[in-house]
Amino acid sequence: MNASNAERRLEELISLRSDLTVVPASRAPASRILGPVTEGFFSKYSSLSTATKSLEIALDSIAPSSYFDGCFAIGHYEYWELVIKPGEDIVYVVDGSEADLSETDARYENIYEYLVDELAG
């Protein structure tokens, strides 16, 4: 699924799911660490979370990854960290047991694909 199709599917899921809290963006992200698709997501949404906060993605929470130097956490799902490399859009889902991002089986081409997979499942 390409980013445009995944973005449309995410919008559908947001409209159908009552357990999501979505905060529209009030400002464009100022970070130079985001890839273009990720930056587009945060230009539209400041945050997205489930009612239980088991899934939480927020512009204000972007921070250096707890597990991989030079990478950034853009959110979490349960005990997994959602990690990106600077300037890239691939989302890696990590728990710290990986020695390298190449060992990560759970990776998505962009934030929209990750969210569609997580929220539609």
* Domain boundary assignment for the chain: 3-120
- Tell me the two tokens of residue 2: 């390409």
Give the predicted TM-score (pTM) of the model: 0.92
Q: Measure the CA–CA gap between 113 and 97, rounded to whole angstroms.
A: 23
Q: Measure the CA–CA gap between 108 and 46, rounded to whole angstroms.
A: 20
**Tens of pLDDT along 66-98?**
999 999 999 988 889 999 999 999 999 999 898
* Structure confidence at residue 67 (pLDDT): 93
Q: What is the CATH code for 3-120?
A: 3.40.1580.10
- Tell me the two tokens of residue 17: 């799911």
Query: Cβ(82)–Cβ(91) under 8 Å?
Result: yes
* Structure confidence at residue 64 (pLDDT): 95
**Tens of pLDDT along 92-118?**
999 989 888 888 889 999 999 999 999
Q: Measure the CA–CA gap between 97 and 106, rounded to whole angstroms.
A: 13
